Chain A
Amino acid sequence: MDVNKERITRLRNRMIVKPSVCLERAQYLTESYKETEGYEYPYRQAFALDKILANITVRIDSDELLVGRITKYWRGALLLPEINAQWLREETDLISTRATNTFTPMSDDEKGRLLEILDYWKERELLAMWMKKAPAEMIEGYMYTGLLGGPTFASNDHYLTHVSAKYEKLIKVGLLGIREEIESEIAGLDLTVPEDFEKLQYLEAMLVSNKAAMDFSLRYSRLAAELALDEKDPVRKAELLEISRICAKVPAKPADTYYEALQSIVTVWTVINIEGQGNGLCFGRLDRILYPYYKKEKDAGTLTDEAARMLMSMLYIKANGIVNVDDTPTSQVFTGWPQTMNVNIGGIDKRGRDAVNELSHICLDADLDVGLTQNDLVVRVSKKTQSSFVIHAIEVAKALRGKIKFMSDETIIQQMLHDGYSLEDARDYVITGCSTVTVSGKSVDTPGTLINLPLCLELALNDGVRRMDGKQLGPKTGDPRSFTSYEEVWNAYKSQAEPVLEAAVIFRSSDRHMFAQYRPIPFHSSLFEGPIQTGKDMWGGGTEYSRSSISPSGAPNVGDSLAAIKKVVFEDGALTMSELIDALNANFEGHEKALKLLSDAPKYGNDIDYADDIVNEVLLHTVDVVTPLRGSGNSLMTISPAALTGNVPLGSITGALPDGRKAGLPLSEGGVSPYQGRNVSGPVATYRSVAKLDHVRFTNGSVFNMRFSPNALKDMAGIKKFEQMLRKYLEEGGFFVQYNIVDTETLRAAQKNPEQYKDLLVRVATYSAYFVELGADLQEDIITRMTQDIN
């Protein structure tokens, strides 16, 4: 094997390309579905997978050592017409001309084939089936009103995901081992028992897809052998022969080497994507599950750290090969394709010991050579984690301008215990997607729609009517001008938010049910504990643990707004409710005094209990509404405060808010991040505000983004202080933090939108000032210096 960094550079550079939509999967799927009319859905899905895997393009490119393609393109999107793709009729050209998430244009031939595919699925796709089933008033009341956004069913163009298969077991027993398990389960069935007879159907479908995956790998084995025949370069020839050997062996059989284990994971991950693609198909705790293979070879002298790192880089690059093709409104919630194909490292193991090993460090270094956007690194930090590892992770985060997600073992394990996970499973958690907590191969935890909480507050302050268009979206909760106490405002808000939260739960549960029923994924399910034993799909109650969640967005805006009302109107008496409503109606124009009073009220993110506690209450209210409900597939219902990039579109249809945010501006980003630019009291105050929230009850995770100047990390002394603050935040109740290490681009954005960047602090010894206040010349000076610091 030729170990060198240039080949990684070549491979990763090939990923920096506009992706293309690949029709192959959709075409073979459609052909298969036409042939399987009348079969039950597990069969239809399995036969379709078999047909797709047997026919799609297989390709091995120069420099590749880990092989397997999801689409025929180096970086592509799959079309999933069986879920929801009819929007493409309108957007065939738009997807290649729109400003973000842009694809290469389709040829006329492709457009023709696309139409044929769409015609077949028009009434058969899952969304169309769901629309016939869902009450009209529910669709009308919530789907297009801006109260809910992002991945509701309407815009859910892909399968349910945010899970992590049991790759540890896969590399240990191979797909043949799993096959044996399925077969022995079948052998034990008593077909006179009706449940067993039903179970048989699902298990047979598992066998079909299991075989299909192994055959797919053999296609790669044959292709590599053929390429080896013509290869002139003896080094590459040997590599191709090795690829051929490995693909004939894994994923069917147990892996014996580090390389084989990685290829086994990549092949199965590829098949999982083809079967049911979506965001957040997590690789799990690779440092832990690959360690025995790495260690064995290291001790035997057959593997170097450089080779281990290079192969890991190749897995990261592979994770960038797939993007979602979403309709334009949805793409605005997923700007930049955050596919979040996570690798989790660090933390403690099932026995409570520090799990960091040499491979954890290699996983970090491997991303230095890649640094692309779709593979994410999740660094678990526990009290037992050594500084050497956390500091290494900070250095990598600095080099990659942020990127790494830092997670609190202490908080997350408490969350898991709170939701009834065993201690061992809690300690073995992984993070999928943005911030979803799950357990590889044991738990399915899918996030749901975004809930526009600030719009709920707007309705409470306008008798259920949306300001921007005068539509009655919510119940009549009374004329806000007549409210005489803070409690009345709070109760009106709760009355507006509750039906929306419940609608979000109904959306989540009803679509999840349909996935389990009509789009089961027997291959992926066979890689979880439970579905083989129960004969149920992983989304249909087949696993031991199961959760569904919905995502309250903009809680910091609601909290800041309520705090402002409480203080300015009801405590200081500086503004009447009528004056407040007039100001909101006018988007503060001509009401500058009201704006000033409201803006000066305490704001979340500055360690002021007054505001922080209200944000917490807003979130706990969503917990109180949602968690007593039961989700589909016998899942727990939970919340995950997050907004993705949906804070921009949701904000665009939300009017002026009492926190001083003007109409149409973005809402708070992340989910629990202080509103952009309002945390102006230094990093410790920001950390403390966020850690103050009751994260133990936000059990599906939350998102907190924080800006940091690279200057703070310029030397080891700075990095150690950074580590100290990060760890204290994670230990005192924080859940997650991801940094935006400020770059010149951020500073340019701050010059354009100073309001949103008021928190950027410039510190030089005793001096302190805010970047946005400096004036153009000095800002230029700082930007110039920063460019020098980084390069």
Chain B
Amino acid sequence: MKENDAVGLSSLIFNIVHGSTVDGWGVRTTVFLKGCPLRCLWCCNPEGQKKYAELKYTADDCNGCGNCVPACPKKAISMTPGRDAKALIDRELCDNCMICADSCYVGALASFSKQYTVNELFSEIERDQGYFGEDGGVTVGGGEATLYPDFTLALIEKCRKAYIHTALDTCGYVTTETGMKCLEEADLVLYDVKGLDPDTHVRGTGVSNELILKNLRYRDSLGKEIIIRLPLIPGYTDSRENIAREAELISGLKSVKRVDIIPFHKYAEIKYRQLGWPLPYVFGEDFPEAREKSVLEVFLKAGINAQIGG
């Protein structure tokens, strides 16, 4: 990828956090790219799944003015009857054109994302450089950053040239050559492992874990740093057997510097509502704290550097 070509590349970004302390080493600027090949039932950033712009509707903010109804070219919006009328969106009809967002003056209707070129995104990152210290830098995540392989690779290379430490936060389901290059080039990879049983993996994420584990071994073979992220999802990844197997797998890897155990949490509920999606049934359950600790113990006993949380 030539420097100039990067100018034209762009991607949908659904969030940028300047000064993150939970996405890898040190103080980081984390960018979230929109779009993901997985469909995890417990997904905590559902607005990051689809590769296109999506309408965010926060019903609590709707003042019932009705401006959006005539604005929608697809006639996808109606108002609920009664005094406390709220906009009602027919997601079947909605094509996420965002015209309604311009007519909503209270911010109840908005887009979940914004388009950035590589250069625009880089300039957002570069200005934070002084705060990165010795070990911080940029974390490119999502969604799944390697779903935009050219964009992500260009961003990583641009950061590298500016002496910014790069981390790639990935689900590991990388199918393209350039995507693999991203996996190779990043100084640090935050690598999700969502269970080792193939069938359960398919049920939970929609894809097989074969490629994911293959790519993990490949990255490991490069001798470049990895932080493994293990979501603890009741009924999917939290069985004793799975945990034991994961510990065994990680013990056999040479580049894993830390394991972050991420217990299931429900904070994404609001986003499902804003997307107009039903809540996945896993959202009914809370992960017991005692179990978190016993899982952590398994890894610590195996001599693996592990912690709860990012």
Contact = CB atoms under 8 A, between A and B. Distances in A.
B22 A764 contact: yes
A630 to B, nearest CB: 39
Interface string B273-303: 1000000000000000000000000000000
A778 B21 contact: no
A649 interface: no
A769 interface: yes
Contacts of B161: none
Interface in B144-179: 169
Contact of A767 (B26, B105, B260, B267): B267
A768 B310 contact: no
A115 B118 CA distance: 74
A121 B266 CA distance: 65
B262 A764 contact: yes
A300 interface: no
B157 to A, nearest CB: 23
B15 A684 contact: no
B268 A683 contact: no
Given A763-B20, A768-B15, A724 B269 contact: no
Interface residues of B, number: 46
B310 A724 contact: no
A774 interface: yes
B141 interface: yes
B106 A773 contact: no
Interface string A563-593: 0000000000000000000000000000011
B18 A763 contact: no
A721 B65 CA distance: 45
A725 B19 contact: yes
B76 interface: no
A583 to B, nearest CB: 11
A345 to B, nearest CB: 25
A764 B23 contact: no
A595 B267 contact: no
B19 A595 contact: no
Interface string B123-140: 000011011010010000
A607 interface: yes
Contact of A778 (B32, B44, B267): B267
B17 A763 contact: yes
Interface string A426-457: 00000000000000000000000000000000
A767 B45 contact: yes
B167 to A, nearest CB: 12
Given A688-B127, A721-B21, A732-B130, A595 B309 contact: no
Contact of A681 (B16, B22, B271): B16
B266 A725 contact: no
A682 B190 CA distance: 21
A767 B192 CA distance: 13
B270 A769 contact: yes
B237 interface: no
Given A592-B65, A724-B131, A684 B229 contact: no
Contacts of B21: 712, 717-718, 721-722, 763
A460 interface: no
B106 A596 contact: yes
A688 B169 contact: no
Contacts of B262: 764-766
B137 to A, nearest CB: 12
Nearest to A588: B105
Interface string B24-40: 00110110100000000
A732 B132 CA distance: 13
B60 interface: yes
Contacts of B27: 684, 721, 724-725
B51 interface: no
Contacts of A687: 19, 131
A781 B266 contact: yes
A728 interface: yes
A769 B112 CA distance: 12
A683 B267 contact: no
Which 10 A-B residue pairs are closest in the complex by CB-CB distance?
Answer: A592-B105, A765-B310, A684-B19, A682-B18, A683-B19, A685-B18, A684-B18, A596-B105, A767-B44, A682-B19
5 contacts: A607-B128, A682-B17, A721-B26, A762-B267, A766-B190
Interface of A: 592-593, 595-596, 599, 607, 681-688, 712, 717-718, 721-722, 724-725, 728, 732, 761-769, 773-775, 777-778, 781-782
Given A684-B128, A766-B169, A767-B265, 13 more contacts: A607-B127, A682-B19, A684-B19, A685-B18, A686-B19, A724-B26, A724-B133, A725-B19, A725-B27, A765-B260, A766-B23, A767-B44, A778-B267
